Amino acid sequence: MPSLKDLKNRIASVKATQKITKAMQMVAAAKLRRAQEAAEAARPYSERMASVMANISGAVSGDDAPRLMAGTGKDDVHLLVVCTAERGLCGGFNTQIARFARLHAKELQSQGKEVKILCVGKKGYDQLKREFESAIIDRVDLREVKNIGFANAEDIANRISTLFNAGEFDVCTLFFSEFKSVISQVPTAQQLIPAKIEASEEDAQGSDAAYDYEPDANEILEDIIPRNIKVQILRALLENVAGEMGAKMSAMDNATRNAGEMIDKLTMSYNRQRQAQITKELIEIISGAEAL
Amino acid sequence: MADTFTFELVSPEKLLLSAEVNSVVLPGSEGEMTVMANHAPTMSTVKPGVVTVEGADGSSKYVVFGGFADIVPTGCTLLAESAVAVDALEADELDNRIKAANEAADAAVGDADKTRLAAFAAQLEDLKAAI
């Protein structure tokens, strides 16, 4: 049985923890709003990019499409780009992505394909290195980056294209967490190379018009595809930040609530014990008086 | 009064401009071109340069660093790698970019890459001279 003093100390320490989690929750809420705005602001570009891609890919026949779109024609070596957060304390956010990527990698390995992993973010690396130490070829650290911008996405995209041009892999898939709402982030896999074009998103306004291409469709496509990859990565990074903040917010909310419950419980047993002590002292005095 | 059309200038990070305008001058990779309402559908890559937007209430200028334009009769969308208003451009930003481009060109392996990057650096130099 802990003494009164012990209980008092525990209550004080849990209260301090509660203050910290509360503050973290509020910080996450503020950051979430900013991250959501950034993701929102980036949307027009990627939407238009998608419609242009859909548009132009119709104009280029399959044979002379650029390599980034057509791929190498094989699918022996897979590169998984796993984007996670840099920091923990955000519930199952990082674990979810890592688990999803791990399942994917296992499946590919069981099919006899070679798997290479590029980790973006520290937490994913920490979780994946246990199993796939040898498969991890590179990692990108975004720890020092305050606001994720196009330059970060560009850097990652350049690494990927360098690897691709060196023939290091055939298929590249991007793993990130899609931001659905504050409480729900869905781990998602998206194929980057060869580029997948969703024909369903074809823009009605342009699809029937005969386009003039300057210089020509092929060259434009060659210019667009690397950009498209950058944009996809940027989108993944931004969604990830929003998701991380959302997950952190709800995790910290839970932690604050749990700390509150704990304080209530501890206070209750503190009061009980105090009462018991008073009763004990009274009994001692009374029985002492009776003995006289 | 000339017809107007919708012009949108989009960078990866945000929508910079979306307005009804009379004409837009784009630094196309095959030469400057002026887009007006009812332009034939065209898709063009854009080299680094100055975009001049003629709106109903005066003109404004933006510096873009590469990208491409999607032109349809009713509108024009310019997807720029990065874009800033000319007034907001910091003096040494261009110099930094030129330096980075030159370094990239020097570091590049393979002739095709080297030519491409060197051309990009040269385009930036032209842009600097133009402002």
Q: Does the model's ipTM exceed the 0.95 cut?
A: no
Tell me how close the Cα of B130 comes to any Cα of chain A, in angstroms.
23
> What residues of chain B, 40 to 69, have a C-beta less than 8 Å from chain A?
40-45, 67-68
- B10 & B63 share domain: yes
Residue A251 token pair: 């995790």
Which residues from chain B sit within 8 angstroms of residue A44, using beta carbons? 8, 10, 14-15
- B23 & B64 share domain: yes
Which strands, in side-by-side order, build the sheet including A184-193? A136-140, A114-120, A77-83, A171-181, A184-193
- B61 & B122 share domain: no
Tell me how close the Cα of A183 comes to any Cα of chain B, in angstroms.
25
- B16 & B72 share domain: yes
Q: Tell me the β-bridge partners of A172.
A: A79, A193
User: Higher-confidence residue: B90 or A274?
Assistant: A274
Write the pLDDT tens digit of every residue in A243-273: 999 999 999 999 999 999 999 999 999 999 9
- B34 & B73 share domain: yes
User: If you average pLDDT over residues B4-19, what whole number do you get?
Assistant: 86
| Single-letter amino acid code for the residue at B127 | L
Tell me how close the Cα of B80 comes to any Cα of chain A, in angstroms.
9
pTM (two decimals): 0.82
Which residues from chain A sit within 8 angstroms of residue B8, using beta carbons? 44, 48
Which residues from chain A sit within 8 angstroms of residue B30, using beta carbons? 214-215
CA-based torsion, A157, A159, A160, A166: positive or negative: positive
Of B72, B87, B102, the position where a domain reaches its end is: B87
> What residues of chain B, 3 to 22, have a C-beta less than 8 Å from chain A?
8, 10-15
- B74 & B126 share domain: no
Interchain contact B70–A (C-beta under 8 A)? yes
Residue A33 token pair: 């709003």
- B52 & B102 share domain: no
Of B70, B87, B104, the position where a domain reaches its end is: B87
Write the pLDDT tens digit of every residue in A136-163: 888 888 887 777 888 888 889 888 888 8
- Does A119 qualify as catalytic in the annotation? no
Residue B100, domain extent: 91-130
Query: Binning pLDDT at 50, 70 and 90, where does residue A202 land?
Result: very low
Distances in Å between the Cα of A230 and the Cα atoms of A2, A224, A226 are 59, 10, 6
- B58 & B83 share domain: yes
